[in-house]
Structure 1
Amino acid sequence: MKGRILDLRTFKIPLGKLAPLETFKTRQGASLSYRMYPAWCEDLIVLYHGVGSDSRYMCVLASALAQSGVANVVTPDFRGHGASLGISDIIPENQLEIDLEELIIHMKMQRAISRITLAGHSLGGGFTLRVATSELRKQFAKFVALAPRLPAHLQAFYPSYGGWITPNEDGSFVVNMPEAMRSGQEKITYSKEFLKAASPADDLMEKLVKLSPPLKVFTGADDEVDIPERHLELFTKANIPVEILPGLNHLTIVSKPDSYLSRF
C-alpha cells in the first residue's frame, strides 16, 4: 500500500483567527505556552497539536468550537514547542501528563470550569488516547481524537507516512518540512523519549475494550499519513465510535471542521 503524499503548500494559518500566545509557569519551573479561545460557558476543551508545528495551526478548529458556544478552547504547545521551542525533548515518560495537569491547574485559576474534554490531532490525538487509557482519564468528561497516531505494531500508517516523517532506527524521527516553508518556529526532530511520552501504550486497543472511555475518533477519508480503513477496523472492534470523514485529509480535518463540528 503506497499511500498518498501530504502536501503543505495549500495549508494556510488564517492569522485573523489566531489567539495570542500566552505562557504559564509550572510548579517545576518550566515556562510553557498556550492560546485561549473563550466562550460564554464553563466547559473547557484542551486541544493538542501534532508534530512539526505548534498550537498555531489548530486555530480554525479552536475558534470554531469556541464561537459555536460548545466550550472554551485552550490549545497548548507541547513541551519543546511554541515558547519552549529549543529545549531538550528528552523527557521522562510521564512528563507530558504532568504538564497537562499543570495546565489544568492554571486554567482553573483563570476561570470557572465545570467539565473538561481532552482532544488532539495526529500526535496530539495519540496523546489523547494515552490519557484516555490512564488514571488521569478521571479528570475528563470525554475525549476526541482526530487522525490519532497509533502504536506502530497496529499498522495504521501508510508505509511512507505521507512523506511527512522519516523514522530512525533508534525510535526517533525527523519531520520532512520543506525548506521553503520553514520560518524557524518548527520542530523538526523528535527524540524517542518524547515520542514515547506522547504515544499510547502498545496494548491501547485492549485498554480501550477494558476501560470503555467516553471517546470519539474522527479520521479523514483522504488522510495521507494514517490509513482510514484501518482506523475504522481497529476502533470499531474496540467498540469506540469512529467516523471516516469524506473529503478531508490529514490537515483539512482541522482546517475545515464544519462537517463534523456539531458531533465533536
Structure 2
Amino acid sequence: MAIQLLRGTLSLLKWGLCAVGALALALTALIATPLQRPPELRSVSDSVKGIDFTRQVALEQFQARDGTWLGYRHYQPKGPATGRGAIFIHGSSGSSGTINFVLTAELAAHGVETWALDMRGHGASGTRGDIGYVGQLEDDLVDFVAHVRKSAPDLPLTLIGHSAGAGFSLRVAATPIVQDLFVRTVLLAPYLGYDAPTNRPHSGGWANADVPRFIGLAALRKLGIDCCAQLPALAFAVPVNSEAILTPVYSDRLMRNFATRGYRLDFAATTRPITIFGGTDDEMMISENYAAAVQAIKPDIDVKLIEGINHMGIVTNPKAVNAIAEDVATRGSGQS
C-alpha cells in the first residue's frame, strides 16, 4: 500500500512538473514574440506641415520625487488673464515640443495660463519609452502640480489631454489622490482603450501592440510574478529616424500606465466635470460613438464634435483650437 501511494505521488509530481514546464515554455514563447513597428502614418506625419513654431516657448525642467528632471513648457496668458489655468498632457509618442503646442499657445492667447508637460518616457523627461513602475506617471503629475503651485497657489486648474494623453487624463480624473487637484477635465479625441467602441482597429494604423507579449506578462502578474515590464510592447507609426523628436516604442509598463484602467471603470469613478471634444474626420477614433459610450456611464458628460477635423487637427486646426481654448477660458472656475 505504501509503495502504491508513493508511486501515485511521484506520478502526480511528474505530471505536475511537466505542466509547470509546459506553462513556462508557453509563457516564454509569448514574451519572446518580437514587436513589429507599423509603417509611417502619413496623416500624422503631414500634420506638421505649415505649423508656425515661433509661438513655442522654451523648455523648462523640475525635479520629481525620485530626483529625475522632467521637462515642461509654461505659456503665460496673453492679454487679459481669465483667472484660469490648464495643464496639458500630450498624446502617444509626443511631447510638449511637438505640434500640440498650437493649442497650448492658443490657450494662453485666450488668457489661460498653461503648462505643457513632457510625460516621463517622452521628450526631455526620463528614459525615452520607459518608466520605473505603473503609477509613476500619476506621482509625477502630483509633483508637477506642487511645482506649479509655487507660482500659482490658488489658480483653478483644468486638466487637458489629447489621444492617449486623454486616456491618462481620464485615469487621473478617476484617481482620488489626484482628481481633486483639478476642477475639470477636458479630453481631446481620447483613446479609451482597445475594447472601447470609439477605437478603430490598431488606432487606424497608428499603433501596433505586441499582443502575445502583453498576454504573457499579464499571465505572469496573475501568478504573482512581476517581471520583464521594461520590454517593448507598443510601437507607433512614426517616420523613420524621428527618434530625436518622437518616442517610437513603449515598454509594457509605460503602455499600461499611459492609459485608462478601463473606460467604464474610470468614468464611473470620476467626480468632477468632464468634456470630450472629437473631430468628425478622426482617422484613429470613431468620434460619433463617444456620446453613447460615455453617457451610458455618466449622462452628464459633455460631448462636442467639430466638423471636418481629424485626429491631429483637434490640437492644430484653427477652428478646433479656438473652440477648445474658448471653452477652457470660460469654464473651469468652480462651475461646470
Q: Is TM-score (shorter-chain normalized) higher than 0.5? A: yes
Residue 244 of structure 1, CA deviation: 1.5
Q: Does 1:46 align with 2:122?
A: no
Partner of 1:237: 296
Residues 210-219 or 128-137, more deviating: 210-219
Give the corresponding residue for 1:173: 234
Query: Partner of 1:140 in structure 2?
Result: 182
Query: 1 CA distance for matches of 2:42 and 2:290?
Result: 19
2:195 corresponds to 1:153: yes
Q: Which moved more, 1:80-89 or 1:42-51?
A: 80-89
Matched with 2:106 is 64
Question: Which has the higher mean CA deviation after the structures are superposed, 113-122 or 72-81?
Answer: 113-122
- The aligned residue for residue 334 of structure 2 is none
Distance in 2 (CA, whole Å) between partners of 1:18 and 1:210 is 35
When residues 7 and 92 of structure 1 are mapped into structure 2, their CA distance, relative to the original with a 3 A threshold, is closer
Runs (5+) with no aligned partner, structure 2 = 1-40, 215-232, 329-336
State the secondary structure of the residue aligned to 2:281: coil
- What is the aligned-residue identity percentage? 29
- For the 8 Å contact 1:161–1:226, the answer to whether it is kept is yes
Residue 165 of structure 1, CA deviation: 1.4
State yes or no: 1:249 paired with 2:310: yes
Give ranges in structure 1 of 5+ residues lacking alignment.
Answer: none
Deviates more, 1:157-166 or 1:215-224: 157-166
| Partner-residue secondary structure (3-state), 2:195 | helix
The equivalent of 1:25 in structure 2 is 63
Q: Offset of 1:233 from its aligned partner?
A: 1.6
Shift of 1:120: 0.6
Contact 2:158 2:182 (8 Å CA) reproduced: yes
| Counterpart residue number, 2:229 | none
User: Residue 49 of structure 1: CA displacement?
Assistant: 0.2
**Would the alpha carbon gap of residues 88 and 189 (structure 1) be closer, same or farther in structure 2, given more than 3 Å must change?**
closer
Change (3 A) 1:88 1:68: closer
Confirm or deny that 1:9 pairs with 2:73. no
Once the two structures are superposed, what CA deviation does each residue of 1:101-136 show, in whole Å capped at 9, x if it has no partner?
Answer: 111111111344421111110111011100111101
Bigger drift between 4-13 and 209-218 goes to 4-13
Q: Which residue, 260, 268, 284 being the options, matches 1:225? A: 284
1:55 maps to what in 2? 96
How far apart are 1:44 and its partner, in Å? 1.7
2:259 to 199, 204, 215: 199
Q: Distance in 1 between the 2:284 and 2:307 partners?
A: 16
Larger Rg: 2
Shift of 1:6: 3.3
Relative to 1, partners in 2 of residues 1:72 and 1:126: Cα closer, same or farther, differing over 3 Å? Answer: same
Q: Say yes or no: does 1:188 pair with 2:188.
A: no
| Distance change (3 Å), C-alpha of 1:258 and 1:43 | closer
Paired with 1:138 and 1:148, the residues of 2 have a C-alpha distance of 21
Q: 2:136 aligned with 1:77, yes or no?
A: no
Letter in structure 2 aligned against 1:229? E
Matched position secondary structure for 2:139 = helix
Classify 1:191/1:183 alpha carbon distance in 2 versus 1 (closer, same or farther; 3 Å).
closer
Distance change (3 Å), C-alpha of 1:6 and 1:213: same
Q: 1:85 to 1:130 in 2, by over 3 A?
A: same
Give the CA deviation at 1:158.
1.1
Q: 1:178 to 1:156 in 2, by over 3 A?
A: same
Preserved contact between residue 83 and residue 155 of structure 2 (Cα < 8 Å): yes
Name the structure 2 match of 1:108: 149
Map of 2:326 onto structure 1: 262
The number of residue pairs the alignment matches comes to 258
Kept in 2: contact 1:85–1:185 (CA 8 A): no
Q: Secondary structure at the match of 1:9?
A: helix
Task: In structure 2, give the amino acid aligned to 1:15.
Answer: F
| TM-fit CA distance, 1:258 | 2.1
